[in-house]
Amino acid sequence: MSTLEPDPRDGMVQVLDEEGGVVGDVPDLSDEEFVAMYRHMKLARHFDERAVSLQRQGRMGTYPPLSGQEGAQVGSAFALAEDDWLIPSYREHGAALVRGLPLRDTLLYWMGDERGSLIPEDANVFTPAVPIASQVPHATGMAWADKLKNGGETDKAFICYFGDGATSEGDFHEGLNFAGVFDTPTVFFCNNNQWAISVPRERQTASETLAQKAVAYGFEGVQVDGMDPLAVYKATTEALEKAKNPGEGELRPTLIEAVQYRFGAHTTADDPTVYREDEEVEEWKRKDPIPRLEKFLRNQGILDDDRVETIEESVREEVAEAIDAAESTVRPDPSTMFDHVFAEKTPEIQRQAEEFARLREEYGDEAFLEE
């Protein structure tokens, strides 16, 4: 039976338990595909740790950590076909990495360099959305446009990521309602990491699950263990296939709620110790998706100590090279921040640019760096 068919209130889809034991149908992946998924998760985790360190050292601006969410990001991105599109929020560094976005570019983006927003043409990744839920209508519109251009048919799916806090925004409801009415090939992927900054999940909604919100818009919702990359891959694969080839009487969209946890802060400007207990964090860390997948792969004879060590060494090298590349990139002139707001400067943006130039000439750049 499809993982998308049960009532989302009936329990989460799961393939691996917390110890890496098999409790569901394992996806049909080759040994090398399993290892590639594991390596991407290790790469995302190490990149995340180094990025937080860079911010703490004053070498990068505010950064949103992803540790704990690698299983959901990498597992779902691995399910995408080459022509599918990924529409992220601001935390999907791991998912974008799978799709071919260089780590250097992610670093440049969070260093305040707009060149980090120049997505490679073959990556099929939309630019990050920092405003909460603003990307949801964009994803629906992209999917609808593709469907219209192809006479109502499509061979592409569009996956849109957002957090549990986004489900309280009007853009979320408008985007999903439109998707249901116009039957767009969209997979709405909710990273329910339990906290919208300091607002806990139970303060977002009285609904038993977030996945069941899909029922109001006429399409399917599924709740999946977001710390289980294989369960995420399985559910996302089925949702993407339905988006492109729905069965008789089925609507294309799906809402996936991936239940997970962010181990770190909302961003590096946040102090999570003021609103959550260490015991809660440690309880969720016992569900960590990386050792869970590693235990499974070791039990299958796919990983051993030597291979894990080789992967970890290559991951360290790749992240170090990305940091070197980002930090050796010549910094843009501050005036370029006005160049990328609109395709052409509006009168107001032009006025601001001229005022900024006047202040720089009058006071010098050092005046802007004084505390």
Q: What is the dihedral of CA 128, 129, 130, 136, to 10 degrees?
A: -150
**Residue 153: which of 188, 180, 175, 185 has the closest Cα?**
185
Q: Given this model, what pLDDT does residue 340 score?
A: 86
Gap between the terminal Cα atoms of the chain? 61
Which residues does 106 contact at the CB level (< 8 Å), separation at least 6?
A: 47, 93, 96, 97, 116
Q: Given this model, what pLDDT does residue 172 score?
A: 98
The H or E element containing residue 221 is: strand 220-225
Q: Looking at 40, 104, 262, 292, which residue is catalytic?
A: 262
Taking the model in full, what pTM does it have?
0.94
Q: Given this model, what pLDDT does residue 369 score?
A: 75
3-state secondary structure (DSSP) of residue 3: coil
38 catalytic? Reply is no
Q: Using an 8 Å Cβ cutoff, are 64 and 340 in contact? A: no
Per-position pLDDT tens, the chain of length 371: 466 666 665 679 999 999 999 999 999 999 999 999 999 999 999 999 999 999 999 999 999 999 999 999 999 999 999 999 999 999 999 999 999 999 999 999 999 998 999 999 889 999 999 999 999 999 999 999 999 999 998 999 999 999 999 999 999 999 999 999 999 999 999 999 999 999 999 999 999 999 999 999 999 999 999 999 999 999 999 999 999 999 999 999 999 999 999 999 999 999 999 999 999 999 999 999 999 999 999 999 999 999 999 999 999 999 999 999 999 999 999 999 999 889 999 999 999 999 999 999 999 988 887 65
DSSP, res 126:
P
281: left (phi over 0), alpha (psi -120 to 50) or beta: alpha
Q: Looking at 9, 56, 203, 275, which residue is catalytic?
A: 275
Please list the alpha-helical segments (H only) found in 133-274: 135-149, 170-182, 229-244
Q: Looking at 50, 93, 252, 266, which residue is catalytic?
A: 266
| Dist CA 112 CA 337 (whole Å) | 9
**Residue 92: which of 26, 148, 161 has the closest Cα?**
161
Q: Using an 8 Å Cβ cutoff, are 41 and 33 in contact? A: no
Q: Given this model, what pLDDT does residue 288 score?
A: 98
Q: How large is the C-alpha radius of gyration of the chain?
A: 21
The crossing angle, in degrees rounded to 10, of helices 70-78 and 229-244 is 40
Q: Using an 8 Å Cβ cutoff, are 120 and 193 in contact? A: no
46 catalytic? Reply is no
| Dist CA 256 CA 13 (whole Å) | 10
- What string of DSSP letters covers 12-78? -B-SB-TTS-B-SPPP---HHHHHHHHHHHHHHHHHHHHHHHHHHTTSS------TT-HHHHHHHHH
3-state secondary structure (DSSP) of residue 86: strand
**Residue 143: which of 256, 257, 255, 253 has the closest Cα?**
253
109 catalytic? Reply is no
Fill in the amino acid letter for 112.
G
The H or E element containing residue 199 is: strand 199-200
Strands 254-259 and 220-225: parallel
